[in-house]
Amino acid sequence: MGNFSHAPRCAYQPATDTREQLPASPELVGFSLSWELDYVNILSLLEFLEIPIRAANRTESHPIVFGGGPVLTANPEPFADFFDVILLGDGENLLGDFIEAYKQVRNAERLIQLQHLAQVPGVYVPSLYEVEYYSPDGAIKSIAPALPEIPAQVQKQTYRGNILSASTVVTEKAAWSNIYMVEVVRSCPEMCRFCLASYLTLPFRTASVEASLIPAIERGLQVTDRLGLLGASVTQHPEFETLLDYLSQPKYDGVRLSLASVRTNTVTEKLAQILAKRDTRSLTIAVESGSERLRQIINKKLNNDEIIAAAVNAKAGGLSGIKLYGMVGLPGEEPADIEQTVAMVRDIKKAAPGLRLTLGCSTFVPKAHTPFQWFGVSGDAEKRLKFLEKQLRRDGADFRPESYNWSVIQALISRGDRRLSHLLELVRHYGESLGSYRRAFKELRGKLPEMDFYVHDNWSLEQVLPWSHLQGPLPVATLQKHLAAATALFPQ
């Protein structure tokens, strides 16, 4: 985004796009944060622009630094001290509301500007909230607005239109090289209890085929022949069949189609055939575990027969592989559940011989605004990943574990509070390894809680959460009800 016409000068840059020339002396500088560790690039870019990295050190001569995107919407607190303003929720209307409100106070003093902006729904000004702790390295005691006119709760904003987003840049340098992404659905109605992609973005919304998807696809296919259908659960779009029929037209014969994860029981032979014809070789389905008991705990409405049927259909439709996603360390998990995952993989191999089978596996990481936000990362998770690796490699399955250490860092950031900003400042000079985080914790001992507090401890329901002043789609009482439904199924 360049300058807004009749609007304040505004620098808006993807966090890693540091080489492009920025406008001189911008009034607003904005970042979208989709990956936690991109904060390192944001801080470097602020330094490059000669803007103090901490909001508290900025003066009247500095721009307002604002941020948004999924990482900041989920839990902005570890990064809160770096931003003057954080936009919570969908950007479609919120960005415009923010710019309009800024225009009204463009010539006012910085503090007046911030106080004015803080009254726009979804606009969060961290410096206008005071956080009190029981002790410097203890839990949070309270979070309260610093002034009476500042709202006690900031409500995440939800866009309710039926035109969803699509790529603005297509490049071979992107993580998904040369793919034009079209957002088919937003959120997911399934509400697996650990799932940020569902809980943080509720309600489930679908793009209009006529007004949103077809025009976007036509635009995209003018610049590339690779199309990605994006969304937490794309096959749950009520008109998904219509979309597939549209993409089956002969004029799209050369198009390569990629689908984000699909819901297991929507993998029919027809879907597999269409995908195989569009150069998709394999499908990804998230099964989480081979244990049906554990799937009930996490509210994953899926049974092993459906998973096997999906694999059989994928093979019958001409796909050469299927990729399953699983997780270890889920709340309520027992060693027997891990053994059932091994058994499930064996059963799939037996039912669909010759189909390439991959199991990607991550560690459960608690996420803000989900019913599992109070659980820590399981101390057994690493051992369980190793167990799966040993068993499945022996069976000839392709097992791809996600780094356990990375999960620990993710958990730290996803449950972090403002005190972490000092740690993040240190870590960016030490490197991205878990060892760097441990070193920084040692250096800051006494100034913030131990790493285990954030990562591994189960938090009590009474504890003030770092994001308790930020309202997600569901009230905390509802999240606690969903949590109680899960724990009722825990082994006694």
Nearer to ligand SF4, 183 or 190 (CB): 190
Within 51-90, the residues that bind ligand SF4 by CB under 6 A are none
Structure tokens at 390: 């040993």
Binding status of residue 28 toward ligand SF4 by CB under 6 A? no
Alpha carbon separation from 217 to 7, 181, 272 (Å, rounded): 31, 9, 20
> What is the smallest separation between the CB atom of 204 and ligand SF4, expressed in angstroms?
9
Alpha carbon separation from 157 to 149, 203, 419 (Å, rounded): 20, 11, 26
Binding status of residue 197 toward ligand SF4 by CB under 6 A? yes
Stretch that binds ligand SF4, among 193-201, 273-281, 433-441, 474-482 (CB under 6 A): 193-201
Structure tokens at 446: 């006494």
Nearer to ligand SF4, 125 or 287 (CB): 287
Nearer to ligand SF4, 314 or 330 (CB): 330
Binding status of residue 324 toward ligand SF4 by CB under 6 A? no
Nearer to ligand SF4, 77 or 333 (CB): 333
Place of tokens 């390192």: 40
Nearer to ligand SF4, 45 or 330 (CB): 330
HSE-up of residue 123 (Cα within 13 Å, Cβ side): 25
> What is the smallest separation between the CB atom of 475 and ligand SF4, expressed in angstroms?
19
> What is the smallest separation between the CB atom of 292 and ligand SF4, expressed in angstroms?
15
DSSP annotation string for 453-467: HHHTPPPPTTSPPTT
HSE-up of residue 49 (Cα within 13 Å, Cβ side): 31
Stretch that binds ligand SF4, among 70-78, 184-192, 248-256, 357-365 (CB under 6 A): 184-192
Q: Residue 15 in contact with residue 31, Cβ under 8 Å?
A: yes
Cα distance between residue 31 and residue 24, in whole Å = 17
Query: Which H or E run includes 438?
Result: helix 434-443
Structure tokens at 256: 């390569």
Place of tokens 């001290």: 81
Structure tokens at 179: 């793919």
Structure tokens at 310: 């999906």
Stretch that binds ligand SF4, among 55-63, 100-108, 185-193, 371-379 (CB under 6 A): 185-193
Task: Pick one of 75, 113, 233, 280: the residue that binds ligand SF4 (CB under 6 A).
Answer: 233
Cα distance between residue 405 and residue 377, in whole Å = 11
Stretch that binds ligand SF4, among 9-17, 186-194, 217-225, 337-345 (CB under 6 A): 186-194
Binding status of residue 183 toward ligand SF4 by CB under 6 A? no
Within 282-301, the residues that bind ligand SF4 by CB under 6 A are 286, 300
Residue 65: φ, ψ to 5°: -100, 120
Binding status of residue 451 toward ligand SF4 by CB under 6 A? no
Binding status of residue 192 toward ligand SF4 by CB under 6 A? yes
Beta-carbon contacts of 289 under 8 Å, excluding residues fewer than 6 positions away, are 295, 298, 300, 326, 327, 330, 333, 337, 340, 341
> What is the smallest separation between the CB atom of 191 and ligand SF4, expressed in angstroms?
5
Task: Pick one of 36, 90, 190, 337: the residue that binds ligand SF4 (CB under 6 A).
Answer: 190
- 204 by DSSP, 3-state: which? coil
Binding status of residue 188 toward ligand SF4 by CB under 6 A? yes
> What is the smallest separation between the CB atom of 293 and ligand SF4, expressed in angstroms?
17
Residue 162: φ, ψ to 5°: -110, 15
Within 254-273, the residues that bind ligand SF4 by CB under 6 A are none
Binding status of residue 191 toward ligand SF4 by CB under 6 A? yes
Nearer to ligand SF4, 62 or 300 (CB): 300
> What is the smallest separation between the CB atom of 297 and ligand SF4, expressed in angstroms?
13
Cα distance between residue 490 and residue 334, in whole Å = 10
Task: Pick one of 86, 227, 232, 420: the residue that binds ligand SF4 (CB under 6 A).
Answer: 232
Nearer to ligand SF4, 13 or 198 (CB): 198
Stretch that binds ligand SF4, among 30-38, 129-137, 188-196, 460-468 (CB under 6 A): 188-196
Q: How many residues bind ligand SF4 (CB under 6 A)?
A: 11
Structure tokens at 489: 């199924």
Binding status of residue 368 toward ligand SF4 by CB under 6 A? no
Alpha carbon separation from 153 to 56, 128, 214, 391 (Å, rounded): 22, 12, 39, 49
Query: How would you label 398-412 residue by residue, b for 16+ Cβ within 10 Å and e otherwise?
Result: ebebbebebbbbbbb
Within 107-126, the residues that bind ligand SF4 by CB under 6 A are none
> What is the smallest separation between the CB atom of 286 and ligand SF4, expressed in angstroms?
5
Among candidate residues 229, 278, 272, 269, the one with its CA nearest the CA of residue 251:
278
Interface contacts to ligand SF4, rule CB under 6 A? 188, 190-192, 195, 197-198, 232-233, 286, 300
